[in-house]
Amino acid sequence: MTNEQITYKNENYPYQSEDTDKRKTVILIRDVYKSFGDNHVLNGFHMKLHEGENLVVMGKSGSGKSVMIKCLVGLMSPDRGYIEVMGKEIANLDRQTLDELRSDIGFLFQGSALYDSMTVRQNLEFPMRRHKEKLGVVQDTTPLVLEALENVGLAHTMDLMPAELSGGMKRRIALARTLILKPKIILYDEPTSGLDPITSKEIIELMRSIQKKYGTSSLIITHDVDCARVISERMILLVDGINYAEGSYAELSASKDPKVEAFFKK
Ligand SMILES: Nc1ncnc2c1ncn2[C@@H]1O[C@H](COP(=O)(O)OP(=O)(O)O)[C@@H](O)[C@H]1O
Ligand SMILES: [Mg+2]
């Protein structure tokens, strides 16, 4: 494997570079910039997620991964650049259309908290109430709640309170909560952070089984190399605010570029 086989940022790269993947593009980020005062976080970031793909974006802590994901779902506006999700340009959407679009996107955000005063069932019912128009009138929520919980192996926790669950279980419930709306895309922001290695593995396995079952497109933001190795079909390394390198785990981990190598050093 040589460095030539890895696509690097250059004048022509990236989105103009040849995209041999024939699957539909569900997320397109083109030349996005975002600064906070003198802190230039994103400096021309490009990204494409294909339908059914598992894409990992890896970057050091503070490199702008969460900022990128927030721009993607319209929680933050980029200073410049173009962002499209399922064919819709995020910047142009009115409140209602953005909300509808968001109901097709599942989030598992860093420390995505459950409501402590609600049971597991009530936590899962919450997004159903918020996105009524998507599900229509649901007379009995139990089958939907059960299906989502079964997907994460926690059907028996339906009537428990979050305080009665371990950290790993809470993360799985949070995942079940994103599944309840049957999202087409799932965005994972550091899904394994703060979990022990065994629990991390369980979460990664769940992410894989969910993707298989529903054919979801997944964008996984992480700095966990093991997570990236197991789950990624393709990886993008976010360095200095750009998509510095792009390729499979095998390609990138064999790279001799110092900035790329730095990610894989144990
Ligand atoms: N709302 C904000 N206001 C000011 N600075 C921010 C804001 N959000 C993020 N930043 C800064 O942007 C940089 C990238 O943050 P973030 O995307 O959270 O990093 P990470 O890659 O760890 O997710 C950091 O320097 C952070 O301090
Ligand atoms: Mg982050």
Closest ligand 1 atom, residue 189 Cα = 23
Does the beta carbon of 200 sit less than 6 angstroms from any atom of ligand 1? no
More confident residue, 133 or 188: 188
Closest ligand 1 atom, residue 34 Cα = 12
Domains of the chain: 23-93+214-265 (3.40.50.300)
Q: CA torsion angle for 229, 200, 264, 42 (degrees, to 10)?
A: 90
**82-97 b/e with 16+ CB inside 10 Å = b?**
ebbbbeeebeebeeee
**3-state SS record for 80-91:** EEEEEECCEEHH
Does the beta carbon of 66 sit less than 6 angstroms from any atom of ligand 1? yes
Q: What tens digit of pLDDT does each residue of 18-51 get?
A: 577 889 999 999 999 999 999 999 999 999 999 9
How far is Cα 56 from Cα 61, in angstroms, rounded to an integer?
Answer: 15
Give the three-class secondary structure for 58.
strand
Across all residues in the chain, what is the average pLDDT? 88
Does the beta carbon of 63 sit less than 6 angstroms from any atom of ligand 1? yes
Whose tokens are 């409140």? That residue is 95
What DSSP string describes 218-256? EEEEES-HHHHHHH-SEEEEEETTEEEEEE-HHHHHT--
Say if pTM beats, i.e. exceeds, 0.85.
Answer: yes
Whose tokens are 């494997």? That residue is 1
Residue % of the chain over a pLDDT of 70 = 91
Q: What tens digit of pLDDT does each residue of 180-220 get?
A: 888 999 999 999 888 888 889 999 999 998 888 889 999 99
Task: Measure 160 CA to ligand 1 centroid, in angstroms.
Answer: 35
For the segment 108-124, the average pLDDT, to the nearest whole number, is 87
